Amino acid sequence: DTAVSQTPKYLVTQMGNDKSIKCEQNLGHDTMYWYKQDSKKFLKIMFSYNNKELIINETVPNRFSPKSPDKAHLNLHINSLELGDSAVYFCASNRGQVNTEAFFGQGTRLTVV
């Protein structure tokens, strides 16, 4: 059973398009995250939800909008895609307690052409 699953794994799209990435976790965790990994492998937090409530909203363009329909799902919608959005996007989840680790999905490699 996959603990944190993301779809799609690969996404190639043209500039200006709108796309979504879906994430689901079956661990019963309360907290979910979106991270962006750039070409230099640097991981940057984008958003975090706890029980469907937004708790971290880092400085990202407002073209990026997270949505959490329930605590097991956290989707990422991106409007008007730009070349600089090309990256690997990781979803992660955590029990919410500070002394616990995060579990990561396999990543979605987004390529904007």
Partner 1 sequence: AQSVTQLDSQVPVFEEAPVELRCNYSSSVSVYLFWYVQYPNQGLQLLLKYLSGSTLVKGINGFEAEFNKSQTSFHLRKPSVHISDTAEYFCAVRTNTGNQFYFGTGTSLTVIP
Residues in contact with partner 1 by the rule CB under 8 A: 4, 31, 33, 40-43, 45, 48, 50, 55-56, 90, 92, 98-99, 101-107, 109
Q: Name the minimum Å distance from CB 82 to partner 1.
A: 24
Nearer to partner 1, 15 or 87 (CB): 87
Give CA–CA dist 72/66, Å, rounded. 13
CB of 69: closest distance to partner 1 in angstroms? 20
DSSP 79: -
Query: Is 21 or 92 the residue whose CB approaches partner 1 more closely?
Result: 92
Q: What letters, b where the CB count within 10 A reaches 16 and e where it falls short, cover 20-53?
A: ebbbbbeeebbbbbbbbeeeeeeeeebbbbbeee
Question: Measured from the CB of residue 2, what is the shortest distance to partner 1 in angstroms?
Answer: 10
Tokens of 43: 């991981």
